[in-house]
């Protein structure tokens, strides 16, 4: 097989997805075993949008594997002056072992991958955020062991997180419900893709508009910001449109007693989640953030054939 990219969870076969998650657990348990696995390798990280977790976890992860990472703000490199994505990808491929990019349009990543001769990793696009979902599946496995057959409910905007969570859960055999306000449902193409994965794994994929009904019998309740990066000017309207979709104590009490609360972060307490839930005993948000480090180390080892 040629160069492997990771633009979507769908870029890993089902066996590979479980193998990367197993490797992530091993990397977390015994990081010293992998301390020199990527000696001499480097990761170029291109950011069109802001980041805390993605930037810090990838950069630290590469260091912990014996390699190094370069932070490249999109406005600081020649892309900001109009150099093409294709040429940028070709050039960076001559220097670095991998490219990670956080972009607006998903097509930017596809173009990068089409021209790069090294693996391209999606560090978030307007459409998908698959690295977060690797960390989230790792977190769910830590809490529940075998996650197949669980019910996962996402409450909020049908955004990049909703899309990747649907794909990741359906592929992992986790039933997934998305409860979004009318008009903010996930993209139909991703719903259809998740349903087709669900047919293989037995996972059911439902899109609903009633958060209370959606969380019933759920093992996991997940939410994300109501206005994503690039949607700042819609914030005021979204505050109105998402009324009733806050994950708070009342909503959590409709889920299973031992349900966990998840959020990719950054969180807006008082908007999509109450402080009581976000900082309460059911919350695993900082485990998710930590697992970005371990899951992405595993992903990079896998993409470079070093796992
Ligand atoms: N969850 C996540 O991707 O966080 P950052 O935007 O801080 O990278
Ligand atoms: N949906 C959010 C996720 C941030 C990690 C955004 O795109 O801004």
Q: Is the CB of 51 under 6 A from ligand 1?
A: yes
pLDDT per residue as tens digits for the range 150-186? 999 999 999 999 999 999 999 999 999 999 999 999 9
Q: Domain residues for 140? A: 132-288
pLDDT at site 307: 75
145 with 156, same domain: the answer is yes
271-283 core/surface letters (b: 16 or more CB in 10 A; e: else): bbbbeebbeeebb
pLDDT at site 1: 61
Residue 217 confidence (pLDDT) above 90: yes
**Poorest-confidence range of 1-10, 52-61, 98-107?**
1-10
Give a yes or no: residue 4 inside a domain. Answer: no
Give a yes or no: residue 230 inside a domain. Answer: yes
Atom of ligand 1 nearest to the CA of 123: 3
177 with 250, same domain: the answer is yes
223 with 174, same domain: the answer is yes
Assess whether 129 carries a catalytic annotation: yes
200 C-alpha to ligand 1 centroid (Å): 31
142 with 121, same domain: the answer is no
211 with 88, same domain: the answer is no
Which is nearest to 4 in space by CA: 306, 307, 302?
A: 302
pLDDT at site 228: 98
Q: How far is CA 119 from CA 52, 94, 234, in A?
A: 22, 12, 34
Q: Are 263 and 224 in contact (CB under 8 A)?
A: yes
243 with 156, same domain: the answer is yes
Count of domains in the chain?
2
CATH number for the domain that contains residue 52? 3.40.50.1370
The rounded Cα 186 to chain-centroid distance in angstroms is: 15
pLDDT per residue as tens digits for the range 67-97? 999 999 999 999 989 999 999 999 999 999 9
CA–CA dist 87, 85 (Å, integer) = 6
Ligand nearest to the CA of 134: 1
Q: Are 10 and 167 in contact (CB under 8 A)?
A: yes
Ligand 2: lining residues by beta carbon, under 6 Å: 124, 129, 159-161, 224-225, 228-229, 264
Query: Model pTM greater than 0.75?
Result: yes
Residue 43 confidence (pLDDT) above 80: yes
pLDDT at site 2: 85
Q: Are 111 and 89 in contact (CB under 8 A)?
A: yes
Residue 259 confidence (pLDDT) above 80: yes
């Amino acid at each position: 097989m040629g160069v492997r990219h990771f633009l979507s969870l769908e870029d890993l076969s089902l066996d590979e997805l479980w193998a990367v998650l197993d490797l992530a657990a091993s990397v977390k348990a015994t990081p010293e075993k992998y301390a020199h696995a990527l000696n001499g390798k480097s990761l170029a990280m291109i950011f069109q949008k802001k980041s805390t977790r993605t930037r810090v976890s990838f950069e630290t992860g590469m260091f912990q594997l014996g390699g190094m990472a370069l932070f490249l703000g999109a406005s600081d490199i020649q892309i900001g002056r109009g150099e093409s994505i294709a040429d940028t990808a070709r050039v960076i491929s001559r220097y670095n072992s991998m490219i990670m990019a956080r972009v607006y349009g998903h097509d930017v990543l596809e173009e990068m991958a089409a021209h790069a001769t090294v693996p391209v990793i999606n560090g978030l696009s307007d459409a998908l955020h698959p690295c977060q979902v690797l960390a989230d599946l790792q977190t769910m496995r830590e809490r529940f062991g075998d996650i197949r057959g669980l019910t996962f409910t996402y409450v909020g905007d049908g955004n990049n997180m909703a899309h990747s969570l649907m794909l990741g859960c359906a592929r992992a055999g986790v039933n997934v419900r998305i409860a979004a306000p009318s008009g903010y449902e996930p993209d139909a193409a991703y719903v259809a893709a998740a349903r087709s994965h669900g047919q293989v794994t037995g996972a059911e994929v439902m899109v609903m508009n009633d958060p209370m009904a959606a969380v019933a019998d759920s093992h996991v309740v997940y939410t994300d910001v109501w206005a994503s990066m690039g949607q700042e000017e819609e914030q005021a309207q979204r505050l109105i449109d998402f009324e009733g979709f806050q994950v708070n104590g009342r909503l959590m009490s409709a889920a299973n007693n031992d349900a966990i609360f998840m959020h990719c972060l950054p969180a807006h307490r008082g908007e999509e989640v109450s402080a009581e839930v976000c900082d309460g005993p059911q919350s695993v948000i900082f485990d998710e953030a930590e697992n970005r480090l371990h899951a992405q180390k595993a992903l990079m080892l896998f993409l470079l054939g070093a796992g």
